[in-house]
Amino acid sequence: MAMRYSYDWFIRQFNQAKDTAEDFLLSVEEAYFLKRPAEHQWCIAESYQHLIKFGYIYHQNIASHLSGNNTRTDSADKAFPPRWFWKKVADYFEPPYRLRLKTISSMEPDITADYNRREVLDEFMNLQDYFIVQLKEAKNKQIDLSGTKIPHPVVTLLKLTFPEYYQLTLAHQRRHQWQAEQTLLALKKEDGKADSGRR
């Protein structure tokens, strides 16, 4: 089993995100995909569009700094744990959550009226693959993921290591995956289709 916070561990997390999204999105009826449970709540498509927009910004920010990084580690199996504060921030994003956060305007979902499940799923899967390829290339070069701190793409005063970006991305994805699942349950309950065997 891969060591927690190692290259392989992060790769496995992104692969798991692909499996979860695929199983979920392919099970969603088209009637529910673009339907909001309430006026000011996101539909399932919007939850994923938010993740895709957010994820590409993080991926590109990492890529722009990773390509010229010359810090190396002596082991491809080494762990790169996030610092204590950023672990706590990631934990805060993990579902199930109670406190809702205001989304900054640049991270609001795009208009989704013309999207279908397959297009959104493909885009989300491609994003996960970009992170996976990025990590595999870093592993091949044995880049020390904790050896450099880079500015946050939105709040530039904040500086995070590469594993902190990966951990936040994964926690954020799980947060909105859970949100999408709750949205589906709410819509089915409204229509009297809720499965009593689910939470």
pLDDT per residue as tens digits for the range 76-113 = 899 999 999 999 999 988 998 655 655 555 555 666 56
Nearest-CA neighbor of 45 among 101, 109, 129? Answer: 109
Residue 59 near residue 137 (C-beta atoms within 8 A): no
pTM for this entry = 0.90
Instruction: Please say if the pLDDT value at position 5 is more than 60.
Output: yes
Delimit the domains of the chain by residue range: 7-35+43-190
Ramachandran angles phi, psi of 75, nearest 5°: -145, 135
Please tell me the least confidently modeled range out of 58-67, 99-108, 123-132, 143-152. Answer: 99-108
